[in-house]
Structure 1
């Protein structure tokens, strides 16, 4: 990954870049012979930021510049009556109205999984209600999920007193006991709808996201956050699971020993592109349940791990990580190994389909690069 000098090793570079969204002015109208209602539907889909056929990412409307333009009011639109009547959503809405009777639900953003997300309004203010779903509360790891939710509530409450230097949704109301969170709904679109995006954001969007992450990492909140990750424990756990070899464990422990007195850095903790909303005013960071103090470079390691085919973005992240010197480079490498181990454990399951197996192979290739970089770093000590 890195050579012994300050230049980036060619091994860091993935074999092929991902596709970027096309940017440019709209072409002249062309008569296609399609029915008028079909063309009108496609135009409405483009204005709404939706791709035909249910594409995974939301492309910008033709001619729109990144992070600019007037977006539709998030509270507008027809009420999604059918989805709002499902038992899971109704149970979640009962908890929301208990802490905010003025909340009016309009659209279900997520009705399955560990969390229920419902867009609505409080008066004329567009908001999003986030609740722990009843099925998640019955999950074997329900205590961990509830604790994670309460950490996110605590983070937003801390941000009310100590505002970070990056954009994030404003807190409207919260109930940590019932795992309910009501936040301002930010107009915009996610940088990605996938954990590992098939299409890379534009270079300008990547630079904007990295700028927000770096600004956050330089911030030092006075109180309210802990250290979510015990590095020695995590290394021992992945070694016991067989994901780390004896040599990997020894190398990482040696790097950790040299980082014993390095000040920790405030990080988002889950800086995935799916946790970034691209608003007209710039990137907005959401989902703060893992925020806290980490070894320097943790957020950069998360971004590096998910931008697997974007050569330019990975090169930029690598340069940011090693620019301050070899000590912070070593911290980035320790973070990167642990992040890749987490991704492998998350995706390498017996039920993986072909697309997921391709991702698993790519993660193994990335892990091999990270191992070589760690061994080179240990060799320079």
Structure 2
């Protein structure tokens, strides 16, 4: 209720000589101070809807919603803008949050609805023919994992576009097992055991043979490294002899690029990412790759060799063939002119490992 001082009805008061004039009061909400009558203190109340009009916001011209932006200013590069456009085609609800990588592949972390995701795009799918083939293989692998779930943990597929080379997958919380291809500080022994266990479980998996292909032609690889001078005539002959004995050996499904940088150490265990090279290989390919990049951890190398040779002579020979070819690939990758001191140390270590593998191959050929 209104008080008498704020009542809309006029109120007569006796004149008090001692009071100089009427008290000035602040008008209440809904009262119009311009409704005073001349010579009086009467206030007229505004209608109830008038108060609501006072509180109603003033209409303004609608502005278009700003495009989502990543935290990194490199999103202004043409390939990042193109990647964002391709991602929006397959996931309109994608909101970018962070630019993780901007190179041959563009990696952008964000959300699709309420789901944390990572978008992976090939920067130049029309120009990078080899990268396009590998990217399409990775998409095919993730789609196959929806129907045939492997024992090793991997990010779940959210959306994909094979034509534009765009892949959207869940973002798994965790940290990489290593930041470098050849890490100077290896993971702890417990982490190494978990990684080897996850890789071994994947290698023992038997999916349908027609789902995945064979990314590596072993005979062609031996001939290529022989032509480049990385393999001697004797090396090429020894490897061909081992491959002849492995002609009827069942192949394994392997990750194909089981570097420590492609392993996330999550609370639930190791998670394998980047499945571009996945497919069927001779047994021990993933183990040989881990052996190649873990030169600073003799205990891990011993464990990998024991696991690879536990199946008998043929798995041992397959592991050695894989090891020689992977060491040749690493030498070709790193032994380039103008290498720094740290890289020269790595090259010298790779040559030492290659000499050790050559002796093992010759010993294996001598036992046949």
Whole-angstrom CA distance in 1 between matches of 2:341 and 2:270: 33
Cα distance in 2 between the residues matched to 1:305 and 1:137: 33
Is it true that 1:192 corresponds to 2:182 in the alignment? no
Q: Of the candidates 97, 104, 116, which is equivalent to residue 95 of structure 2?
A: 104
Distance 1:190 1:232, change over 3 A: same
- 1:149–1:289 Cα contact (<8 Å) kept: yes
Counterpart for residue 228 of structure 2: 241
Shift in alpha-carbon separation, 1:81–1:248, aligned structure 2, 3 A:
closer
Unpaired runs of 5+ residues, structure 2, are: 1-68
Go from structure 1 to structure 2 and tell me whether the alpha carbon gap of 1:327 and 1:368 turns closer, same or farther (over 3 Å shift). same
Shift of 1:330: 0.6
Instruction: Count how many residue pairs are aligned between Structure 1 and Structure 2.
Output: 299
Task: Kindly indicate whether residue 76 of structure 2 is the aligned counterpart of residue 89 of structure 1.
Answer: no
Look up the match of 1:273: 260
- Among candidates 207, 224, 229, match of residue 193 of structure 2: 207
Aligned-residue offset at 1:357 = 1.3
Structure 2 residue matching 1:342: 3-state secondary structure:
helix
Tell me by how many angstroms 1:350 deviates: 1.4
**Residue by residue, what CA displacement relative to the aligned partner does 1:243-279 show, whole Å, maximum 9, x if unpaired?**
0000001111111111111100111011100000000
The aligned runs of 1:1-381 (5 Å cut-off) are: 80=71, 82-111=73-102, 113-134=103-124, 137-138=126-127, 142-222=128-208, 223-381=210-368
| Corresponding residue number in structure 1 for 2:20 | none
Deviation at 1:324, TM superposition (A): 1.2
CA-to-aligned-CA distance 1:166-195 (integer Å, 9 cap, x gap): 100000000010010001000000001111
Deviation, 1:353, is 1.9
* TM-score using structure 2 length: 0.79
* Alignment check: 8 A CA contact 1:84 1:107 kept: no
Q: Structure 1: how far apart are the matches of 2:326 and 2:146?
A: 30
Counterpart of 2:173 in 1: which secondary structure? coil
CA deviation after TM superposition for structure 1 residue 133, in Å:
1.0
- Structure 1 runs not aligned, ≥5 long: 1-77
Tell me how large the CA RMSD over aligned residues is.
Answer: 1.2
Deviation for aligned residue 1:79: 5.0
**Does the 8 A contact of 2:70 with 2:99 survive in 1?**
no
Q: Could you tell me how far 1:322 is from its partner in structure 2?
A: 1.0
Q: Give the superposition deviation at 1:137.
A: 4.6
- TM-score, normalisation: structure 1: 0.77
Structure showing greater Rg: 2
> Aligned with 2:116: secondary structure?
strand
